């Protein structure tokens, strides 16, 4: 039995029956990482001894008892480094657990490694990491997506049973699509952000990477819930998402936004998504065309709001309290400047400069204030669409994974990689990407299912129905 290929429910069955022990699971997973991670570079840090200790005391009776979970290197885990893949936080060790980590521990999970990412979650390819690019498990010459590319590659490459990531403009869903796994972005406020190093506070959301929809539903049951430590956390009951998975889609109305099938989308991606829509028709869903007219402004609005919030959030990294401090400074201001110049990478600097500009006197109303008004219009588009349908079906990414280095010289082309995911974050609603096929060169394609605020139950139900009727999630990469 190849333990690393098991889903979490399959692994849990083996653990609760006593057929395997948590220590054996950790050893098998560590062996898998040792065998393939020199190629993938999905992990930045892995303390196998700590994982072994956790395995030896794991309670298999708990919901995630004995299940190793990888963590994106932007979420604080007490005693582990948290560098956000940036030189400016080199040497920083987290003094506390994020709320999601506390919840994972309480559910019996074993924390397993820190995954690579674009620096401070700014990027769509995981090429912006200070510690080197992660590779796509389906083609080592291609990017895994970003910014949570390490988590996606770890799950897609069977180096992790599941992983946490963060999604600010598609940073879970896009890499999930490119690495053929399930990537969940919950409703804003559903999962606590306490202990997450902020990029754009009104957009960031912690979510999951898994092999199947059922696992995504299970993990959300564990990590969701109100947290008084996060003032954006919403006090709502957390449903048992796994209970409604098998209800099918017969009678549901599924919307197809015409703005998501645009010039520039890869023909193989469109063909696979259209085939998925036909599958839903076969299962008895009613397919309706809807319009989200302000979608065309989403990228521009996102890169004003996200950079403005990044400019404010990253001001705290100046060499005084934690992380890197530049040497040879003449005074405090010189130390600030040198530390930030040496510690931040090019993409982070670009976004800080953009954000500072749009917030500056004379430009605030012209850019930031206007962007917030258009953001409201984008959210209103979704609200109206959900009056006539239960969920939306779209491509996750306009293309399959592109080659490493192909877009690094053209930031605008890189930003357009998230064109189908950004609006979901601006509206604060939920979305999930699931595998829906492959290109002729065996590169994964993702289908995005979008739900209204707090609509995860129906969204999971729609995703699960397609997954169970198709073979795509069972395919394994050629590692």
CA distances from 327 to 149, 150, 180, 313, 315 (A): 32, 32, 44, 24, 19
Residue 77 and residue 197 share a domain: yes
Whole-number CA gyration radius for the chain: 21
Residue 47 and residue 132 share a domain: yes
DSSP 244-305: GGGG-STT-EEEEEGGGS-TTS-HHHHHHHHHHHHHHHHTTPEEEEE--GGGGGHHHHHHHH
Residue 135 and residue 50 share a domain: yes
- pLDDT classification of 114: cutoffs 50, 70, 90: very high
Residue 196 and residue 76 share a domain: yes
Residue 398 and residue 301 share a domain: no
Residue 469 and residue 397 share a domain: yes
Residue 439 and residue 332 share a domain: no
CA distance 189 to 230: 9
The whole-number average pLDDT for the span 389-416 is 94
Point out the domain boundary residue: 313, 332, 363: 363
CA distance 53 to 26: 10
Residue 120: which domain range? 3-255+384-474
Give the tens place of pLDDT for each residue, 168-194. Answer: 999 999 999 999 999 999 999 999 999
Positions annotated as catalytic residues are 72, 147, 171
Is 120 within 8 Å of 438 (Cβ atoms)? no
Q: Is residue 281 part of a domain?
A: no
Give the tens place of pLDDT for each residue, 349-371. Answer: 999 999 999 999 889 999 999 99
CB neighbours of 353 closer than 8 A, spacing ≥ 6?
Answer: none
What are the tokens at 227? 């947290």
The answer, yes or no, to whether residue 239 has pLDDT greater than 90, is yes
Q: What is the CATH number of the domain that holds 462?
A: 3.90.1300.10
Strand partners, 460: none
CA distance 72 to 410: 26
Is 223 within 8 Å of 104 (Cβ atoms)? yes
Give the tens place of pLDDT for each residue, 305-357. Answer: 999 999 999 999 999 988 899 999 999 999 999 999 999 999 999 999 999 99
CB count, 10 Å around CB of 209? 35
User: Within 13 A of 28's CA, how many CA atoms are on the CB side?
Assistant: 19
Residue 319 and residue 249 share a domain: no
What is the tally of helices (H) and strands (E) in the chain? 15, 11
- pLDDT classification of 412: cutoffs 50, 70, 90: confident
Q: Is residue 207 part of a domain?
A: yes
Q: Is residue 150 part of a domain?
A: yes
Residue 390 and residue 352 share a domain: no
CA distance 351 to 356: 8
CA distance 89 to 93: 9
SS3 457: helix
What are the tokens at 203? 């957009």
**Range 138-157 burial, b when 16+ CB lie within 10 A, else e:** bbeebbbbbbbbbbbbbbbb
Q: Is residue 270 part of a domain?
A: no
CA distance 386 to 255: 8
The answer, yes or no, to whether residue 410 has pLDDT greater than 90, is no
Q: Is residue 479 part of a domain?
A: no
SS3 452: coil
Supply the angle between the helices 267-282 and 456-469 in degrees, to the nearest 10: 100
Q: Is residue 272 part of a domain?
A: no
Number of domains in the chain: 2
pLDDT of residue 264: 83
CA distances from 132 to 38, 159, 295 (A): 12, 18, 33
CA distance 22 to 5: 15
DSSP E strands: which ranges in 63-176?
68-72, 110-115, 163-166
The whole-number average pLDDT for the span 80-93 is 97
CB neighbours of 327 closer than 8 A, spacing ≥ 6?
Answer: none
What are the tokens at 460? 């999971």
Q: Is the dihedral of CA 187, 125, 143, 33 positive or negative?
A: negative
Residue 304 and residue 222 share a domain: no
CB neighbours of 23 closer than 8 A, spacing ≥ 6?
Answer: 52, 55, 56
DSSP 321-378: SSS---SS-SSHHHHHHHHHHHHS-HHHHHHHHHHHHHHSTTTIIIIIIHHHHHHHHH
**pTM (2 d.p.):** 0.97
CB count, 10 Å around CB of 250? 10
- pLDDT over 70 percentage in the chain: 100
Q: Which residue has the tokens 């959210």?
A: 379
Point out the domain boundary residue: 332, 363, 394: 363
The whole-number average pLDDT for the span 412-425 is 93
Residue 399 and residue 326 share a domain: no
Residue 327 and residue 184 share a domain: no
> Which has the closest alpha carbon to 90: 132, 131, 40, 121?
131
CA distance 34 to 123: 27
Give the tens place of pLDDT for each residue, 37-58. Answer: 999 999 999 999 999 999 999 9
CB neighbours of 159 closer than 8 A, spacing ≥ 6?
Answer: 4, 29, 32, 33, 36, 37, 40, 42, 43, 70, 153
Q: Is residue 262 part of a domain?
A: no
Q: Is residue 274 part of a domain?
A: no
């Amino acid at each position: 039995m190849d333990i690393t290929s098991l889903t979490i429910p399959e692994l849990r069955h083996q653990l609760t029956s006593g057929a395997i022990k948590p220590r054996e699971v950790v050893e098998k997973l560590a062996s898998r990482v040792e065998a393939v991670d020199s190629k993938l570079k999905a992990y930045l840090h892995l303390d196998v001894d700590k994982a072994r200790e956790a395995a030896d005391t794991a309670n298999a009776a708990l919901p995630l008892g004995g299940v190793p979970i990888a963590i994106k290197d932007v979420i604080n885990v007490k005693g582990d480094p948290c560098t956000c893949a940036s030189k400016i936080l080199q040497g920083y060790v987290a003094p506390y657990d994020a709320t999601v980590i506390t919840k994972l521990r309480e559910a019996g999970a074993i924390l397993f490694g820190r995954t690579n990412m674009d620096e401070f979650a700014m990027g769509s390819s995981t090429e912006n990491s200070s510690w080197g690019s992660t590779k796509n498990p389906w083609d080592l010459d291609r990017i895994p997506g970003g910014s949570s590319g390490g988590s996606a590659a770890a799950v897609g490459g069977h180096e992790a049973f599941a992983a946490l990531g963060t999604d600010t403009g598609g940073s879970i869903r896009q890499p999930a699509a490119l690495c053929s796994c399930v990537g969940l972005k919950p409703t804003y406020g559903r999962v606590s952000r306490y202990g997450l190093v902020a990029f754009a506070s009104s957009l960031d959301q912690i979510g999951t990477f898994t092999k199947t929809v059922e696992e995504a539903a299970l993990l959300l049951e564990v990590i969701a819930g109100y947290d008084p430590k996060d003032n954006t956390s919403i006090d709502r009951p957390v449903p048992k998402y796994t209970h409604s998975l098998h209800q099918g889609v017969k009678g549901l109305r599924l919307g197809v936004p015409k703005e998501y099938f645009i010039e520039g989308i890869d023909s193989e991606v469109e063909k696979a998504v259209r085939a998925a829509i036909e599958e839903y028709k076969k299962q008895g869903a009613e397919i309706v065309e809807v319009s989200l007219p302000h979608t065309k402004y989403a990228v521009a609005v996102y890169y004003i709001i996200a950079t403005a919030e990044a400019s404010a959030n990253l001001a705290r990294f100046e060499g005084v309290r934690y992380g890197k401090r530049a040497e040879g400074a003449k005074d405090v201001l010189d130390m600030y400047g040198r530390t930030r110049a040496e510690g931040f990478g090019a993409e982070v600097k670009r976004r800080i400069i953009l954000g500072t500009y749009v917030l500056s006197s004379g430009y605030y109303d012209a850019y930031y204030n206007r962007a917030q008004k258009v953001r409201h219009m984008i959210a209103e588009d979704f609200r109206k669409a959900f009056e006539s349908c239960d969920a939306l079906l779209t491509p996750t990414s306009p293309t399959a994974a592109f080659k490493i280095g192909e877009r690094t010289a053209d930031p605008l082309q890189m930003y357009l990689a998230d064109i189908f995911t950004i609006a979901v974050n601006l509206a604060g609603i939920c979305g999930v990407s699931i595998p829906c096929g492959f290109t002729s060169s065996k590169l994964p394609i993702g289908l995005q299912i979008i739900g209204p605020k707090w609509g995860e139950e129906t969204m999971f139900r729609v995703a699960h129905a397609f997954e169970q009727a198709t073979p795509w999630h069972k395919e394994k990469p050629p590692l």
